[in-house]
């Protein structure tokens, strides 16, 4: 399997009000853009806090807004 290099732009936002919490450009090597987006979204969800310091659940959602080939 040949891997290609991509940059995925991931937006973390509050789905209750649409407010952007953060955007990250994450490099990934993947067989295609579809897999690059899926794996990067999974990593973003894994490494983003979903529980606040007070123990309350935070309202967060994730979107891959762009995938670009990296040279």
Cβ distance 62 to 8 under 8 Å?
Answer: no
H/E element, 64: strand 61-69
The pTM of the full predicted model, rounded to 2 decimals, is 0.85
- How far is the C-alpha of 8 from the C-alpha of 33, rounded, in Å? 9
CA atoms of 64 and 52, how far apart (whole Å): 24
Domain residue extents for the chain: 4-69
Would you say 13 and 64 are in contact if contact means Cβ atoms under 8 Å apart? no
For 6-50, write each residue's pLDDT tens digit. 999 999 999 999 999 999 999 999 999 999 999 999 999 999 999
Decide the pairing of beta strands 4-13 and 20-30. antiparallel
């Amino acid at each position: 399997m040949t891997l290609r290099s991509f940059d995925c732009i991931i937006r973390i936002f509050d789905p209750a009000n649409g407010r952007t919490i953060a955007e990250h450009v994450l490099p990934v090597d993947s067989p295609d853009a579809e897999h690059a987006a899926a794996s990067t979204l999974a990593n973003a969800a894994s490494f983003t806090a979903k529980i606040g310091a007070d123990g309350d659940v935070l309202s967060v959602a994730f979107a891959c807004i762009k995938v670009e080939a990296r040279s």
